[in-house]
Amino acid sequence: MKNYTLQQFLKDLDEPYAWPGGYPRYFITNDGEALSFAAAKENQPLIEQSISQACNDGWQVVACEINWEDSSLTCADTGKLIESAYVVTKNGSIVY
């Protein structure tokens, strides 16, 4: 697996939605937590330092992914829901 770089983080930080498609994205930290784009922007200096120094402090972002269907995915920093591309209802249908 290729290491996630500071340059990749900065590039991803400018693109909260995947192209093409406009699917919502979020960041994943090295301890497996999810971070929203708002939290990443607010804590950018901490994240940049953590990536640069390979810190194991909960701020080291290791990936940026699309939230396809997790309607209950929350940001570890803010506790707010992270937008999903599709929501699967209890009866199994998909809402766009």
Residue range 74-79: mean pLDDT, rounded: 97
Residue range 31-41: mean pLDDT, rounded: 97
What pTM, to 2 d.p., does this model score?
A: 0.88
Instruction: Reply yes or no on whether the pLDDT at 33 is more than 60.
Output: yes
- CA distance from start to end of the chain: 32
- Where are the domains positioned within the chain? 6-95
- Per-residue pLDDT band for 63 (boundaries 50, 70, 90) equals very high
Return the H-helix or E-strand segment holding 70.
none
- How much is the mean pLDDT over the chain? 90
Where are the alpha helices (H) located in the chain, listed in sequence order?
6-13, 37-42, 44-52
